[in-house]
């Protein structure tokens, strides 16, 4: 065990190829926003619920370096979509079958 070698600190993780990174959180974020907008504009309850799910999935898959503001904003948008759909039309959701 010869410790005469030099010590180098870890190179930053940005060296890793960005194409190798998992695109799931970004896709889910985008999907979540699209579904929230659909839910808000078209007053579709199921769209709003799916948006909430998308934002949760995006959060679970996110990298620790990612901005929490982005996550929070997408989450808040989906929650607001659900709340608005129910305020406009308090009827319960009917299943598609």
Residue 55: closest CA among 97, 26, 84: 26
Q: Which is nearer to another protein, 63 or 69 (CB)?
A: 63
Minimum CB separation of residue 69 from another protein in Å reads 19
Minimum CB separation of residue 34 from another protein in Å reads 18
| 3-state class (DSSP) for residue 77 | helix
Q: Does 18 bind another protein (CB under 8 A)?
A: no
Minimum CB separation of residue 42 from another protein in Å reads 18
Cα separation, 18 vs 63, in Å, equals 12
Cα separation, 6 vs 13, in Å, equals 21
**Residues 48 to 87: which contact another protein by CB under 8 A?**
49, 52-53, 56-57, 60-65
């Amino acid at each position: 065990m010869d410790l005469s070698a030099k010590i180098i600190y870890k190179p930053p993780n940005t060296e890793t190829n960005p194409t190798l990174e998992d695109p799931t959180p970004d896709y889910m974020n985008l999907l979540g926003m699209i579904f929230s907008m659909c839910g808000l504009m078209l007053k579709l309850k199921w769209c709003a619920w799916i948006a909430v799910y998308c934002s949760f999935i995006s959060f679970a898959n996110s990298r620790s370096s990612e901005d929490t503001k982005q996550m929070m904003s997408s989450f808040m948008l989906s929650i607001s979509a659900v709340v608005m759909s129910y305020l406009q039309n308090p009827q319960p959701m009917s299943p598609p079958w």
